[in-house]
Every structure is written in structure tokens, then in C-alpha cells.
Amino acid sequence: MAAEKYETHEYDVIVIGAGGAGLRAAVEASAQGCRTALVCKSLLGKAHTVMAEGGIAAAMGNVYPEDNWKVHFRDTMRGGKLLNNWRMAQIHAQEAPDRVLELEEWGALFDRTKEGLILQRDFGGHRYARLAHVGDRTGLEMIRTLQQHAVHRGIDVYMECNLQRLLLDSGRISGAFGYWRESGKFILFKCKAAVLATGGGGKAWKVTSNSWEYTGDGVTLALDVGADLMDMEFIQFHPTGMVWPPSVRGILVTEGVRGDGGTLKNNKNERFMFNYIPEFFRAETAETEKEADAWYEDKRNNRRTPDLLPRDEVARAINSEVKAGRGTPHGGVFLDIASRRPGDYIQRRLPSMYHQFKELADVDITKDPMEVGPTCHYAMGGVRVDADSTATTVPGLFAAGEVAAGLHGANRLGGNSLSDLLVFGRRAGLYAAEYVRNQPGSVKVDNEQVDSYAKELLAPFDSKGGENPYTVHSELQDCMQDLVGIIRTEAELRKALVVIGQLKERSLKLRVEGNRHYNPGWHLALDLHSLLTFAEAATIAAIERKESRGGHTRDDYPNTDARFAKVNIVVRRNDGTLSITQEPLPEMPDELKTLVEEKK
């Protein structure tokens, strides 16, 4: 039999990606009785979730009893500039506390309040201290807890295994095909359902907090089998990445620095965020330094510091300060906690930031300010999903976490990512299991199709061209950084499309040295397909949205436009080319509208 040429495994559900969403999905699918495989590109426990620092947003009310899901829902919707899928935002706010408590049941140890409950920290755009955390290494705690729980459940894990194609049987998911990174040999999964939990595509930009894994795989796998993408124009540039030395540019500096009292300053020692409070957030933001500083201790009588406006606002403000010549020597702004909090407090609350700056930049953050600037961090857009079930538009295909679109609208609030992974990771596993239960019989894999995929994946070894995959990748990063960055214009976006087109051509002529045995050059050559797809989808969506909103700022359309407030930009593949449509947002029920419209 032709298929037996390849190592073949059969499962009910395969989960692609083993960060927070993938692990949580696999745990759930397995708990539902499904034969479940977890497939990941790195070793288990190294996925992007491990780098998350600040915390998990969940309205548990441990610090402020007046917090509840309605306030969290409101903050999330307003942070997303009301472009969020309201139902996802509602489910997320309602279920996040249970998901956090569940981690505690599985052994996680969050920092505690004086009463012995889970401590919650302030973060941008959140009305109350809401982030369950462990110092500044919350992601590590979360991934380790989930990883160990998954291992104890006996879930089969395929590490350093890269799935490159999804397979269909009569329009439904029937499997996936890829390779082992170690041996370079192919591997075929037959399955009834697949969960995408692959994260974003930030590695298409040059200054990024994202690792090598962030190549837009899930978005591309989904698009290649006919699923819809949505909101691809919204890319979050985190306001505070390291800027110096050049080799560390882009590495994340947690928003927890500001949550714990740090403030942004320009080279005139001004707390410039007071000059950038948008009308939309004016009623809930402090106007004076005195009020802002008092807010940390007393939220009932003071309004939130503008240092903790949503990330899109802060990133744009930093960009403007630097452009106006008020930046630091290395082209960032100052982030100062040293002059505002005692050294031992900083070391206790932000140990890994202390360590990171000390080791990589020779800066002692308990004595001196940090230099920070925006870094590509997160894709709000991705695969379009059903709000309740995480089902994509392809039967049997589900998506959760960063790869899915909808929850965060035009801009994600800090802390809402880790909670997203837990809430929708669980739902993906649950609904994938339900889907499988309704699919009696077995699935078929088209062997000829698999053979042709195998041939495609080996093509770089036979190429007559001389293109170096690292060079093509680096040029794509320059293009996206310069032309599809924080501030965009039609002319630059169109230029980017031309460059992406040229790079696609060149990517057909990649040359790979060596053999299939653990060969990063070959792996990158294959990942370029998804990087370029992600970049193209983000760029065409950015051209279509002729307004500024959240993580999409157009210099040629600097204001929000009511016409675009009602639509998502949807990307599909038709006959090989990407097409764009504007589709109406789901209508929010009136009682939720009332919540969102509250000014304070």
C-alpha cells in the first residue's frame, strides 16, 4: 500500500502545536475519551507560551471584589476597539477564572494575597488588578503545569515534528502530513479532527519578540484547505521591547514593569503618556501624575495611569516621541521603575527582567531606567472560528489561541492571551471530541495526494536555483518591518505586496545544503511558504482597511471610520490567489452593548 511508505499513525484528534492552547486542547480531547496526539515543532515545554511574563487575565475578584466578568468583557471589547467577536469576549471573560483555578488543581503555584488566595496584578486596559501571575514568569508556570498534566494523562507527544499539509476526505479533515526534524523522514497522521494551536507569524518581521516557530503555519495550513482568515491586518506591536544592544532588539519587556509602578519617560524626563490620552479612554484615564500614582494603591478614587493604556496606544505614542527627537540614544524611550520602587521589590516582582537586562544589556533595572521600543508581538487576526466551538469553516478543523481570530478584535489586552489559550484551548478539545463522536466509520487519505506533497517538500533539495533561504527570510523581515509596520500607508503597503511577490518567486529557487538529517536550512526553506502566505494576507488586509483602529494605523487614513467599525476583513484562497471581502460583524445583544458603552 502506498501510504505505508510513510510512518503512519491513526488518531481521533491531532493537536498541532504544544503551547498553552495546544496542551489544553489535547488534555480536553483526551479527557473526552478521544485517542489524541500532540504534535509540536520544538521539544515539549519550549513553545512560545513559556516566554509569557505578566499573567493570566481572569476576573476572580481576589484583590478587587467589585471585579467580575462583565467588567472584564467591557475592558476586552474596548481594548479591541469594539471589533471583537462579542460572543468570544463574553465566553472568555466568564470562563477564565475557572480555567485559572483548574491550573491550581493541577499543581500550579501562583503568587498569593495576604489572605492566601491567588494574587492579581495591574495591566494595561484592565480596570482592576486582574492578572494571576508568578513573578514575571507566568507562562513558564502555565506551560509546565499543562505539560506535566498532559504527560500524566499519557497523551502521545510527537516532538520536533513539523506538519506541513492537512489532508481532506470529501471536504473533511482526514489527516496531516509532515516530517520529523531529526531524521527528515515523513510522517502521516490519519485523524478525524485536527486542532490548530500554532500561534502567529511574527517571525515575518525583523524586530520581534517571537521565536523561530512563529512562521504562520496554522494560518497557512488552514488557508490551504479552504478555511477563512479574518482580521489579518491587526498586528500587535508590544510597546516595550529591548532596543539595545542591537542583537537583543525586540526581546520582550513585560508590561508588568508598568503594572508594578514603572513609567515611560522621554529624553526630557517627561512622562509623555499624559500627552497621548485618546478621547475614547479619557474618562477612565488619570490626567495628572499625582492621580496616576495614587491609582496603584486606590482604584476607587483615582483613574488608571496612561502608562497602562492599551498596547496599541502606547506603541504609537513611543513611536511619535522617537520620531519627534525625544527618544533615547538608541532610538527608544526610557522605562523607569528604579526611581519609583525599592530595589528588593523590583527584584521580587520582576526577577527575570532584572536578570535579562543585567546579563544582556549591562543595565541594573533597580538603579537605572531601561531603554525600550515597540516590537512585533502578536497577531490578533488568524483563522476564522465559531465563537462557541472554535470550529473553522472546514469540517473537522478547529483553531485556538493566537492562530484563531475574533476574541481580541483590533487590539489584544495584555494578559488576555494566556486566558484565551486556556478557555478556547479547552473548548477546541471539547468540540473536536464532540465532532469525532458524530463521525462514525474511518477516514480515507488520498495516497496520491500525499505522494505529491512529499515531492513538494523535497523540492528544495533538487532546486537548480541558488537562493539562500536565510537571505530570502531576512529580506522578507526587512520588507514587513519597513513597509507593514506600526504606521502604514497605501503606497508602502502596495510596495510590500510587490516585494512579497518577488520573494515568492525566489522561494521557488531555494537551494538547500546537506541532507534531510536535522537540517535547519531545509526547515526554513519549507517555512518560507507559510511566512510569505502570512505576510501577504496581512498586507492585503491592511490595504483593504482604509482607517486606523487598534493594531492597524494608516497614516493616510488617521481616524477611525464608522463604515469599518461594522466589518471584518476576510481573506480566502480562490484558484491559488488570495481574495478579500468585507463581512459584517455579528450583532451584539443590547444588554452587552450597555456594558461596553459605560464610560468608566
Active site residues: 238, 258
Site for another protein in 147-166 (CB under 8 A): 148-149, 151-152, 159
C-alpha distances in angstroms, 378 versus 214, 253, 381, 492, 596?
Answer: 10, 14, 9, 21, 24
Cβ proximity to another protein, 517 vs 563, nearer residue = 517
**Does residue 245 have a cis peptide bond before it, meaning omega lies within 30 degrees of 0?**
yes
Question: In the stretch 511-530, what mask flags binding to another protein with x, by CB under 8 A?
Answer: -xxxx-xxxxxx--------
CA angle (204, 205, 206) in 5-degree steps: 125
Site for another protein in 252-271 (CB under 8 A): 252
Confirm if 233 and 569 have CB atoms less than 8 A apart: yes
Cβ proximity to another protein, 58 vs 443, nearer residue = 58
The only residue of 244, 272, 281, 564 in contact with another protein, by rule CB under 8 A: 244
Question: Does 97 interact with another protein (rule: CB under 8 A)?
Answer: no
User: How many residues of this chain bind another protein (CB under 8 A)?
Assistant: 63
Question: Does 275 interact with another protein (rule: CB under 8 A)?
Answer: no
Instruction: Pull the grid cell for residue 475.
Output: 529580506
Question: Does 509 interact with another protein (rule: CB under 8 A)?
Answer: no
Cβ proximity to another protein, 147 vs 416, nearer residue = 147
Confirm if 334 and 240 have CB atoms less than 8 A apart: no
Question: In the stretch 361-400, what mask flags binding to another protein with x, by CB under 8 A?
Answer: x---------------------------------------
Cβ proximity to another protein, 422 vs 510, nearer residue = 510
Q: What is the DSSP string of 13-46?
A: EEEE--SHHHHHHHHHHHHTT--EEEE-SS-TT-
The only residue of 327, 382, 409, 469 in contact with another protein, by rule CB under 8 A: 469
Question: Does 105 interact with another protein (rule: CB under 8 A)?
Answer: yes
Cβ proximity to another protein, 148 vs 302, nearer residue = 148
**By C-alpha distance, which of 257, 213, 260 is closest to 238?**
257
Instruction: Pull the grid cell for residue 11.
Output: 488518531
Site for another protein in 165-194 (CB under 8 A): 182
The only residue of 117, 454, 567, 595 in contact with another protein, by rule CB under 8 A: 117
Confirm if 234 and 550 have CB atoms less than 8 A apart: yes
Question: Does 458 interact with another protein (rule: CB under 8 A)?
Answer: no
Question: Does 459 interact with another protein (rule: CB under 8 A)?
Answer: no
Question: Does 141 interact with another protein (rule: CB under 8 A)?
Answer: yes
Say how many C-beta atoms besides its own lie within 10 A of residue 227's C-beta: 23
Beta bridge partners of 578: 573
Question: Does 455 interact with another protein (rule: CB under 8 A)?
Answer: no
Question: In the stretch 196-235, what mask flags binding to another protein with x, by CB under 8 A?
Answer: ---------------xxx----------------------
* Cβ at position 300, least distance to another protein in Å: 24
To the nearest 10 degrees (0 to 180), the angle between helices 86-105 and 69-79 is 120
Q: Which stretch binds another protein (CB under 8 A): 98-106, 315-323, 333-341, 479-487?
A: 98-106
Round the CA-based radius of gyration of the chain to a whole number and report it.
23
Long-range contacts of 360-364 (CB under 8 A, 24+ apart): 360/242, 360/245, 360/248, 360/251, 361/242, 361/244, 361/245, 361/248, 364/338
**Could you tell me whether strands 120-121 and 131-132 are parallel, antiparallel, or unpaired per DSSP bridges?**
antiparallel
Cβ proximity to another protein, 405 vs 422, nearer residue = 422
Question: In the stretch 303-322, what mask flags binding to another protein with x, by CB under 8 A?
Answer: --------------------
| Identity of residue 56 | I
Q: Which stretch binds another protein (CB under 8 A): 299-307, 359-367, 375-383, 440-448?
A: 359-367
Cβ proximity to another protein, 73 vs 214, nearer residue = 214
- Sequence-distant (≥ 6) Cβ neighbours of residue 456 within 8 angstroms: none
Instruction: Pull the grid cell for residue 459.
Output: 523540492
The only residue of 247, 275, 288, 442 in contact with another protein, by rule CB under 8 A: 247
* Cβ at position 126, least distance to another protein in Å: 22
Query: Is residue 529 left, alpha or beta, with left meaning phi > 0 and alpha meaning psi from -120 to 50?
Result: alpha
Question: Does 109 interact with another protein (rule: CB under 8 A)?
Answer: yes
CA dihedral 581, 584, 585, 590 (to 10 degrees): 180
Cβ proximity to another protein, 4 vs 115, nearer residue = 115
C-alpha distances in angstroms, 357 versus 264, 335, 398, 438?
Answer: 17, 12, 39, 53
* Cβ at position 339, least distance to another protein in Å: 25
Q: Tell me phi and psi for residue 536, to 5 degrees.
A: -65, -45
- Sequence-distant (≥ 6) Cβ neighbours of residue 117 within 8 angstroms: 60, 62
* Cβ at position 392, least distance to another protein in Å: 27
Question: Does 31 interact with another protein (rule: CB under 8 A)?
Answer: no
The only residue of 2, 5, 33, 43 in contact with another protein, by rule CB under 8 A: 43
Binding region for another protein (CB under 8 A):
42-48, 50-51, 101, 104-107, 109, 111-112, 115-117, 134-135, 137, 140-141, 144, 148-149, 151-152, 159, 182, 211-213, 244-248, 251-252, 352, 355-356, 359-361, 468-471, 474, 512-515, 517-522
